[in-house]
Structure 1
Amino acid sequence: MYDYVIVGGGSAGAVLAARLSEDPQVTVCLVEAGPVDSAEQIHVPAAFAKLFRTRLDWDYDTHDEPHLNRRRLYLPRGRVLGGTSSINTQIYIRGNRADYDAWDQPGWSFEELLPYFKRSEDNERGADAFHGAGGPLAVSDGRAENPMSTAFVEAAVEAGYTANDDFNGATQDGFGAFQLNQRDGRRASTATAFLHPVLDRPNLTVETNLQVHRVLIEGGRAVGVTGHRLDELITLRAEREVILSAGTYNSPQLLQLSGIGPAALLGALGIPVVLDQPLVGQNLQDHVLIPLVYPHEHPISMLAAGTPENFQRFLAEGRGPLTSNGPEVGGFVRTDASLDAPDVEYLAAPVMFTDGGLGVPTAHAFTFGPSLLTPRSSGSVGLASEDPTAKPRIQHNYFADEADLDTAVAALRIALDIAGQKALSPYTGTPYLPPASTSDADLRAYALRVTHSIFHPTSTCAMGSVVDAELKVLGVEGLRVVDASVMPNVVRGNTNAPTIAIAEKAADLIRGLRAPADTARGGAAAA
Structure 2
Amino acid sequence: MSLNKAVMLLKIIFILTAATSIQGKVYHPSYIDEASTFASSSEYDYIVIGGGTAGCPLAATLSQKYKVLLLERGGSPYGNPNVTQMQNFHISLMDTSPDSPSQPFVSTDGVINARARVLGGGTCINAGFYSRASPSFVKSVGWQEDFVNDSYRWIERQIVHCPNLAPWQAAVRDGLLMAGVSPFNGYTYDHVYGTKVGGTIFDKSGYRSTAADLLSAANHTNLRVLLRATVLKIRFDQSGSRPKAVGVLFKDENGNHHLASLNVGEGKSQVIISAGAIGSPQLLMLSGIGPKSHLKAKKVPVVLHNKFVGKGMADNPLNSIFIPTKKQVKQSLIQIVGITKYGSYIEASSGFSQSSKSISYHHGIMSAEAGQLATIPPKERSFEAISSYIEKKVKKKIPIEAFRGGFILSKIAGPNSKGHLKLIDTNIDNNPEVTFNYFSDPFDLHRCVKGIETIAKMVHTSHLLNLTNDDDYSMKMLLNISVDANINFIPKHFNDTSSLEQFCKDTVITIWHYHGGCQVGKVVDSDYKLLGVDGAMVVDGSTFLKSPGTNPQATVLMMGRYVGVKILRERLGSEAGV
| TM-score for the superposition, normalised by structure 2 | 0.75
Q: Is the 8 A contact 1:60 1:76 kept in 2?
A: yes
**1:213 corresponds to:** 232
Aligned Cα root-mean-square deviation (Å) = 2.3
Compute the displacement of 1:405 (Å): 0.6
Can you list the C-alpha shifts for 1:9-59, whole angstroms capped at 9, x where unaligned? 110111111111112xx2111100011112122111232211114333442
Q: Is the 8 A contact 2:48 2:273 kept in 1?
A: yes
**1:189 corresponds to:** 210
Q: Is the 8 A contact 1:464 1:488 kept in 2?
A: no
Which ranges of 4 or more aligned residues in structure 1 deviate by more than 6 Å? 357-361, 514-517
- Looking at structure 2, the residues matched to 421 and 19 of structure 1 have their Cα atoms a distance apart, in angstroms, of 48
Compute the displacement of 1:265 (Å): 0.4
Can you list the C-alpha shifts for 1:349-403, whole angstroms capped at 9, x where unaligned? 1134312499899611110121100211011122111222221111111111111
Q: Is the 8 A contact 2:102 2:125 kept in 1?
A: no
Query: 1:458 pairs with 493, 507, 515, which one?
Result: 515
Amino acid at match of 1:413: E
SS at match of 2:184: coil
- Looking at structure 2, the residues matched to 457 and 247 of structure 1 have their Cα atoms a distance apart, in angstroms, of 9
Q: Within the alignment, does 1:264 sit opposite 2:296 as a pair?
A: no
Question: Structure 2, unaligned stretches of length 5 or more?
Answer: 1-42, 264-268, 352-363, 372-382, 384-389, 469-473, 482-488
**2:245 corresponds to:** 222
Counterparts of residues 390-429 of structure 1 (less than 5 Å)? 390-425=430-465, 426-427=467-468, 428-429=474-475
SS at match of 1:264: helix
Q: Is the 8 A contact 2:189 2:198 kept in 1?
A: no
Q: Within the alignment, does 1:96 sit opposite 2:110 as a pair?
A: no
- Looking at structure 2, the residues matched to 467 and 444 of structure 1 have their Cα atoms a distance apart, in angstroms, of 36
Can you list the C-alpha shifts for 1:285-325, whole angstroms capped at 9, x where unaligned? 221111001122212243xxxxxxxxxxxxxxxxxxxxx4x
Counterparts of residues 110-149 of structure 1 (less than 5 Å)? 110=145, 112-122=147-157, 136=158, 138-143=159-164, 145-149=165-169
Q: Is the 8 A contact 1:262 1:276 kept in 2?
A: yes
Compute the displacement of 1:212 (Å): 0.7
Amino acid at match of 2:257: L
Instruction: Give the paired residue count.
Output: 459
Question: Structure 1, unaligned stretches of length 5 or more?
Answer: 66-71, 123-135, 303-323, 336-342, 518-527
**1:50 corresponds to:** 91
Q: Is the 8 A contact 1:291 1:367 kept in 2?
A: yes
Q: Which protein is richer in helix relative to its size? A: 2
Compute the displacement of 1:197 (Å): 5.2
Q: Is the 8 A contact 1:508 1:515 kept in 2?
A: no
Amino acid at match of 2:189: N
Identity among equivalent positions (%) equals 25
**1:27 corresponds to:** 67
Which segment is superposed worse, 110-119 or 406-415?
110-119
- Looking at structure 2, the residues matched to 414 and 446 of structure 1 have their Cα atoms a distance apart, in angstroms, of 15
Which segment is superposed worse, 421-430 or 390-399?
421-430
**1:293 corresponds to:** 322
- Looking at structure 2, the residues matched to 95 and 287 of structure 1 have their Cα atoms a distance apart, in angstroms, of 15
| TM-score for the superposition, normalised by structure 1 | 0.82
Q: Is the 8 A contact 1:301 1:366 kept in 2?
A: no
Compute the displacement of 1:109 (Å): 5.2
Q: Is the 8 A contact 2:195 2:336 kept in 1?
A: yes
Q: Is the 8 A contact 1:374 1:492 kept in 2?
A: no
Query: 1:13 pairs with 38, 52, 55, which one?
Result: 55
Compute the displacement of 1:473 (Å): 0.2
- Looking at structure 2, the residues matched to 389 and 112 of structure 1 have their Cα atoms a distance apart, in angstroms, of 37
SS at match of 2:406: strand
Which segment is superposed worse, 351-360 or 466-475?
351-360
**1:201 corresponds to:** 220
Q: Is the 8 A contact 1:213 1:389 kept in 2?
A: no
**1:346 corresponds to:** 346
SS at match of 2:161: strand
- Looking at structure 1, the residues matched to 85 and 104 of structure 2 have their Cα atoms a distance apart, in angstroms, of 23
* C-alpha distance 49-412 of structure 1, shift in aligned 2 (>3 A): same
